[in-house]
Each structure stands twice: as C-alpha cells, then as structure tokens.
Chain A
Amino acid sequence: DIQMTQSPSVLSASVGDRVTLNCKASQNINKYLNWYQQKLGEAPKLLIYNTNNLQTGIPSRFSGSGSGTDYTLTISSLQPEDVATYFCFQHNSWYTFGAGTKLELK
C-alpha cells in the first residue's frame, strides 16, 4: 500500500503569508494527487486535482505542484478563511489520504 506523509502536521502563519504544505508518497504516484480543505464539522472540499489543476470555484491563491513522490500545496497569500486542515490524497494505486496539516493563524 502507498503511504502518504504530510508535513508539517501543524502550521501557524499570519494573514498575507505565503504558505507551503508538503505531501510525500512512499512511491511514485504519477501526479495522481489531490488536495482537500476540511473545516471543522464539514466534508472535505476539493481544491486541486491531479497535482496542479484548480477545481472550479477555488480561489487562485491556491496552487499545487510536484511529481514522482513529492507534492506541494501553496497558498500565495493566506486569508482568515483558509484556517482548516488540509489533506493530500493519492489515487494512482487504490487510494490513500495523508494525515493532514492543520493550518492556524499566528
């Protein structure tokens, strides 16, 4: 099974900061990597699919990159409404979620 490791587990940042979240797969997942935002008590919301494709309706401050085993979600200018937990999800070989990065305001 493919394991997904997210880092950091908790990230504190200020409004306006550029924020980078990381996700590492235990083997090559061929860019089949999604990013989700989950707020407390809500369902996950798709932000980015297949590494770098912005889901319709998602603000352009969110972007994704990566290849092979290493992937990144970047928020170019952090907004208060971005406080949430972010999960990566590989769908190259069955399905695996990362444990999440909890993004907090400093």
Chain B
Amino acid sequence: QVQLKESGPGLVKPSLTLSLTCTVSGFSLSSYGVIWVRQPPGKGLEWMGVIWGNGNTNYNSALKSRLSISRDTSKSQVFLKMNNLQTEDTAMYFCARSRYFDFWGPGTMVTVSS
C-alpha cells in the first residue's frame, strides 16, 4: 500500500539549514510527484514545493529563494533543504503524493530554536 514517512532533525538552530527526507513506498517517484506542506503549531497548512515524476520542481514563491527539493528514485526518497531557518519556520512538515494529493505522511516536527 501507499505510504510516506518524513524524517528530520527535530531541532535546528536559527540561520542554519533544514534537511528533511520523505521515504515512500507503494508507488514509484518516476510516476508520481511529491509535495511538501508545512503547518505551524495551531495554524493552517502551507504548500512549500513539489517535485514531479519527471524530476521537475516548483516552489512556493514565498519560499523559493531558500528552498530546494530533490530526489533519489532508486531509494524512493525525496529531500527537502531549506536554508536560513528562522523561528517562524517552526512547524510540522508533511510530504504527500501528488496524485490527487491523496496520501500523506504522519509529519515530522521541526523546532527552530537556539
């Protein structure tokens, strides 16, 4: 069955770079894209970026200058890197399959704090 799972450091210091991994199973990254979405505590959802089945990427214009998404199809993994983290980047980070945005991972919490 389709599954996605995010993993990451949990705590990141301000100004540093966040690296997250989304490991998928049950589908091929060459066939479907993966979107990253985040949700600050008690707030709504914000899409961050997407990597498509052909490897092309698109980013939310508000984050584009700091964000990079890549993948390793052989490992069924998608990577998110975001630099110059600030406290307002504290959030739960989710990855989801782009086919109808149907399956989501459980999320990984990232706290930005010194």
Contacts and interface: CB of A to CB of B under 8 A. Distances in A.
22 contacts: A34-B100, A34-B101, A43-B94, A43-B104, A43-B106, A43-B107, A44-B45, A44-B94, A45-B104, A46-B104, A87-B45, A89-B101, A91-B101, A94-B47, A94-B60, A95-B35, A95-B50, A97-B37, A97-B44, A97-B46, A99-B44, A100-B44
A18 B58 CA distance: 39
Contacts of B104: 43-46
B42 to A, nearest CB: 11
Main secondary structure of the interface of B (DSSP, over half): loop
Interface of A: 34, 42-46, 49-50, 55, 87, 89, 91, 94-100
A87 B35 contact: no
B106 A97 contact: no
Contacts of A45: 104
B88 interface: no
B47 A49 contact: no
Contacts of A98: 44
B8 interface: no
B105 interface: yes
